[in-house]
């Protein structure tokens, strides 16, 4: 699990590592009940000392996100993530289509098949380990990455999408226009996290930099989920705006 050296700055290294692990839990990189890498593996991956790793892990244990099991290791606590307060907004599904898509350069990275993690399986209402299609791409503006996107679709839908489809259409447009899926509604969650190695590399930012993180689940006409998407936005290149009509 080769990662990257944490940034040398005023923030203590154990806090940087703590936030990275926490972000990976929030985004589903680690599943509830899953064993995290060993102390030695974390030291090697992030090039930090054992003292740094122990402090980061201890803080997450005290926060209730991790649990230590004698002789077995440290695991993600079941139901360790507390639900945040939710505010509901309503609007037309067409608002999910990016108005600035034609102004942005879309860079498809890869389209791969993989087994669904527990989080992806739950959100797509499929069996854990079932084959899904993962699509990764970035959107650039003036040659600068603005967002990094990971889409997960059931195999029967995802296998019909090609890289060239991603160059001019949003995923919603692909689902509607190419796959002829009637999209009825979507649910979006937004929060702030820090960039891990994968996100930092895709967005050309430093590891541990703050990013705006969004999850989006799209539903078809039969109310079954057809897509789960993770969006990571650079806050220095992106602003999320909500217009309220009273």
CA atoms within 13 A on the CB side of 51: 2
Q: Which of 151, 121, 147 is nearest to 133 (CA)?
A: 151
Per DSSP, 11 falls in state S
Q: Which two tokens stand for residue 96?
A: 């999910």
Q: Which two tokens stand for residue 221?
A: 């006409």
User: What percentage of the chain carries pLDDT values higher than 90?
Assistant: 51
| 56 sits in which H/E element | helix 50-63
The CATH number fitting domain 13-76, selected from 2.40.160.10, 2.60.40.10, 1.10.10.10, 1.20.120.330: 1.10.10.10
CATH fold for the domain made of 93-233: Chorismate lyase (3.40.1410)
Give residue 103's pLDDT: 47
Residue 73 pLDDT exceeds 50: yes
Domain ranges in the chain with CATH number 3.40.1410.10 = 93-233
Averaged pLDDT, 119-128: 93
- Phi, psi dihedral angles at 93 (to 5 degrees): -60, -25
Q: Which of 98, 197, 100, 95 is nearest to 141 (CA)?
A: 100
CA 152 to chain centre: 11
Give residue 181's pLDDT: 93
Q: Would you give the end-to-end CA distance of the chain in angstroms?
A: 50
What is d(CA 148, CA 55) in angstroms, rounded to the nearest whole number?
30
Please report the DSSP string for 73-120 in residue order.
Answer: EEEEPTT-SPPPP-------GGGGS-TTGGGSEEEEEEEEEEEPPHHH
Tell me the Cα Rg of the chain.
19
Contacts of 114 (CB under 8 A, 6+ apart): 131, 132, 134
The sign of the CA dihedral 114, 133, 25, 234 is positive
Averaged pLDDT, 237-243: 77
Mean of all residue pLDDT scores within the chain: 85
Give residue 111's pLDDT: 96
Q: Which two tokens stand for residue 75?
A: 């695991």
Per DSSP, 164 falls in state G
Least confident of 6-20, 37-51, 144-158, 232-246: 6-20
Least confident of 87-96, 106-115, 129-138: 87-96
Task: Say how many residues make up the chain.
Answer: 246
Single pTM value for the model: 0.74
Domain ranges in the chain with CATH number 1.10.10.10 = 13-76
* Environment class of 100 (CB within 10 Å of its CB; exposed 0-12, middle 13-18, buried 19+): exposed
At residue 5 the predicted structure's pLDDT band, cuts being 50, 70 and 90, is low
Q: Which of 167, 154, 148, 170 is nearest to 113 (CA)?
A: 154
């Amino acid at each position: 699990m080769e990662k990257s050296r944490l940034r040398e700055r005023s923030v203590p290294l154990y806090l940087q590592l703590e936030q990275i692990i926490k972000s990976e839990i929030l985004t589903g990189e680690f599943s509830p009940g899953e064993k995290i890498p060993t102390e030695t593996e974390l030291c090697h991956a992030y090039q930090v000392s054992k003292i740094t790793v122990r402090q980061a892990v201890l803080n997450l244990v005290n926060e209730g996100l991790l649990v230590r099991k004698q002789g077995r290791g440290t695991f993600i606590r079941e139901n360790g993530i507390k639900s945040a307060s939710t505010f509901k907004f309503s609007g037309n599904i067409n608002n999910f289509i990016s108005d600035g898509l034609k102004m942005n350069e879309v860079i498809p990275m890869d389209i791969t098949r993989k087994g669904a993690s527990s989080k992806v399986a739950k959100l797509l209402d499929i069996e854990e380990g079932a084959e899904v299609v993962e699509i990764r791409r970035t959107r650039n503006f003036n040659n600068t990455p603005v967002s990094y996107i990971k889409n997960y679709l059931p195999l029967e839908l995802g296998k019909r999408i090609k890289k060239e489809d991603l160059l001019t259409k949003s995923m919603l447009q692909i689902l509607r226009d190419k796959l002829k899926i009637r999209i009825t509604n979507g649910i979006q969650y937004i929060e702030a996290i820090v960039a891990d190695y994968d996100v930092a590399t895709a967005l050309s930012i430093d590891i541990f930099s703050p990013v705006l993180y969004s999850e989006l689940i799209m539903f078809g006409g039969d109310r079954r989920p057809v897509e789960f998407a993770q969006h990571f936005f650079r806050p220095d290149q992106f602003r999320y705006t909500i217009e309220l009509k009273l």
